Amino acid sequence: MLNNAGDAPSQPTIHELRQQMSDYGRPNLRQAVWQLINTFVPYIAVWVLLCYLLRHGYSLWTIPIPMILAALFLVRIFILFHDCCHGSFVGSERANTILGYVTGVLAFTPFEYWRWNHDGHHRTYADLDRRGVGDIWTLTVDEYLALPKWKQLAYRVARNPIVFLTIGPGFIFLITQRLLHQWQGKEERRSILITNLSVASILAIASYTIGLRTYLVIQLPVMLLAGAMGIWLFYVQHQFEGVYWSRHANWDPLIAAMKGSSYYKLPGPLRWFSANIGLHHVHHLMTRIPNYRLQECYAKIPALHNVPTLTIARSLKSLHLNLWDERREELVSFNALYQPPPD
């Protein structure tokens, strides 16, 4: 199926592959606890440092580095939250839920609401007939050309990296996820209320301790930086050169995982802060594998190596890929609209 030589497929079936991966889907409490310690303790320490620097009048030039560091730790916290949403971080469902709510509050993200959206993403990614749930707004060339001019402009604005990496994080994490959506179920709306009340409580406590201004001067830039990093990671995992999309009738879950999700091969420190989420094809094949076992699973199963691999340099090409061309079966730029179709 995925053999480039065109001979009999060497790739196992999705059932066989998941059988090989099943051992790695067992959470390890010791690793999970250690991950909580090595994430939360330094995150709190960086916050304390930032509070100290601001309240004691240190130069603003001393602020950016610890602020970027805090944002990186917040990205890591969000990946732990992501694992809790999948019920994979620890073995207890109750513990995953409690940790999910706590990490979600820190990331201003309601647990049940985000879990519902993200589950929808896993059911529909790379399926052209089921777009729109928990994914990046993506149109085909024909769909785009059929839009009125004002909506074409709206799509171009939404796909502009300056917009989705600067305005996008604030809109999603500070506004959208604060709203009660009528189309959501009772649990999802309740999680939004709990998260909003928790954030309001944090603001109140900050007002009587470090001061509301100090809290906002730290929290808002850290949240926006972490949000931009997180959105970029999510974007590049399914929007890259050589990605797979298909109509539902021909949609194949194995190809969708192996070619519709990227292996984002990041440098060691960034891989640590992003908690191995770059091994996204492994995650999509089996969501029950906790982040701290993804690398081990990838290393031990050779069949997982035959996937699109993105470096940071190569991933930047994704910024110019905006539309799915069903004739070429590839993502193309807006400039491709003005080029003759392939023979």
Q: Residues, the chain, total?
A: 343
Which residue reads 């094809």 in tokens?
281
Mean per-residue pLDDT for 8-24?
Answer: 84
For 33-75, what is each residue's pLDDT tens digit? 999 999 999 999 999 999 999 988 888 788 999 999 999 999 9
pLDDT of the residue at 343? 57
Q: For residue 171, tell me if it sits in a domain.
A: yes
Q: Is residue 270 domain-resident?
A: yes
Any domain includes 13: no
pLDDT at 341: 61
What is residue 250's DSSP assignment? G
Whether residue 10 is contained in a domain is answered as no
Section 80-98 average pLDDT = 97
Contact 191, 101 (CB under 8 A): yes
Number of domains forming the structure of the chain: 1
Q: Tell me: the pLDDT tens digits for 305-335?
A: 988 899 999 999 999 999 999 999 999 999 8
**pTM value surpassing 0.95:** no
Q: Please check whether residue 40 lies inside any domain of the structure.
A: yes
Instruction: Tell me: pLDDT of 132 over 50.
Output: yes
- Start-end of H helices in 107-242: 111-124, 141-145, 149-159, 161-162, 168-170, 186-208, 212-238
Show the tokens assigned to 244.
Answer: 């797979």
Asked if residue 17 is part of any domain, the answer here is no
| Residue 10 reports pLDDT greater than 90 | no
Residue 286: what pLDDT? 96
User: Per-residue DSSP letters for 168-207?
Assistant: HHHIIIIIGGGS--TTS-HHHHHHHHHHHHHHHHHHHHHH
Q: How far apart are CA 130 and CA 310, in angstroms?
A: 26
CA distance 102 to 110: 10
- Element spanning 264, H or E: strand 263-264
Asked whether residue 298 carries a pLDDT value surpassing 70, the answer given is: yes
Q: Within a domain: residue 22?
A: no
156 conformational bin, left if phi > 0, alpha if psi -120 to 50, beta if neither? alpha
Which structural domain range is residue 46 located in?
28-338
- Whether 2 is in a domain gets the answer no
